[in-house]
Amino acid sequence: MTISEPDSAGSDPREAPSPSGGGGPAGVSRRGFTRLLSFAGLGAVVVAIWGYLRGWFSGPATPREVEVAGLGEIAVGESKIFQYPRSTDPCILIRPAADRYLAYSRFCTHLQCVVFYRPAQNGFECPCHHGFFSAADGSVLDGPPPRPLPRIRLEQRDGKLWAVGMESS
């Protein structure tokens, strides 16, 4: 049994160029490409974990007052999208009657998909798993969501509507 020895140039036979010309057009070996791909994947995992932990340790959003709309800005039966309490939390303001405004979080309580207002059905539909919520009180009417939509408390001041807090069930 013989052990292969390096050739006269001192290179390892396992590092021989591939039959296709070796090294590729940029001169990167398979081993180098695999190493680069591994580091890129590791970097993506680290960034994802960092983002998750940052959100986890930042704690709950501190309710603040946000101007949502002017009184009469949206017509009866229409809606307006706004963000509350953070700029990454979508909410929806609806006007079911001339003297009534309601606002809810747009995140479905099942898997956090965004819900859409359906005025003809007087409710909110979640397209991910066909959940349906009442526009009157946010309660679950159909599908897998376990809880009602969180409601946004509104106040009327100086001809404007303000989001001032959240009510969760």
Q: Tens digits of per-residue pLDDT, 49-107? A: 887 777 666 655 556 899 999 999 999 999 999 999 988 899 999 999 999 999 999 99
pLDDT at 48 over 60: yes
Could you tell me which residues come within 8 angstroms of residue 45 by beta carbon, excluding any fewer than 6 positions away? none
Model pTM score: 0.64
* pLDDT bucket at 7, cuts 50 / 70 / 90: low
- What three-state secondary structure class fits 131? strand
pLDDT at 155: 96
The DSSP annotation for 55-84 comes to HHHT-SPPP--EEEEETTSS-TT-EEEEE-
Domain 66-167 coded CATH 2.102.10.10: yes
Helix (H) or strand (E) holding 94: strand 90-97
Domain ranges of the chain: 26-59, 66-167
pLDDT at 55: 66
pLDDT at 6: 52
